């Protein structure tokens, strides 16, 4: 049996996601919201993507960079 799906807490979502539920947003608008609201985390995720490309010839998708940025931001917030 699969575990129940859990939505992220409201205070964790980028502010650009408040106009519509996050699961109904287009990928482009969600990427933009994450990139705009988590700029430092996004830059860090891009650096990780560059490292993976250079070291392992593995190019990350925008979705993968966004995923990294969201989790990097979570770690940044927990560190406060």
Express each pLDDT in 7-28 by its tens digit. Answer: 555 555 555 555 455 555 566 7
Greater pLDDT, 18 or 60: 60
Q: Give residue 35's pLDDT.
A: 94
Which long-range CB contacts under 8 A does 65-70 form with residues at least 24 apart? 66/30, 66/31, 66/34, 66/35, 68/41, 68/44, 69/34, 69/35, 69/38, 69/41, 69/42, 69/44, 69/45, 70/34, 70/38, 70/41
Query: Looking at per-residue confidence, does 18 or 41 come out higher?
Result: 41
Statement: residue 42 has pLDDT above 60:
yes
């Amino acid at each position: 049996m699969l575990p129940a799906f859990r939505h992220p807490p409201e205070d964790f979502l980028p502010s650009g996601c408040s106009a519509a539920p996050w699961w109904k947003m287009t990928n482009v608008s969600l990427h933009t919201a994450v990139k705009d609201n988590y700029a430092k985390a996004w830059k860090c995720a891009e650096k990780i993507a560059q490292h993976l490309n250079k070291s392992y010839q593995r190019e990350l998708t925008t979705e993968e960079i966004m995923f990294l940025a969201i989790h990097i931001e979570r770690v940044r917030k927990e560190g406060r």
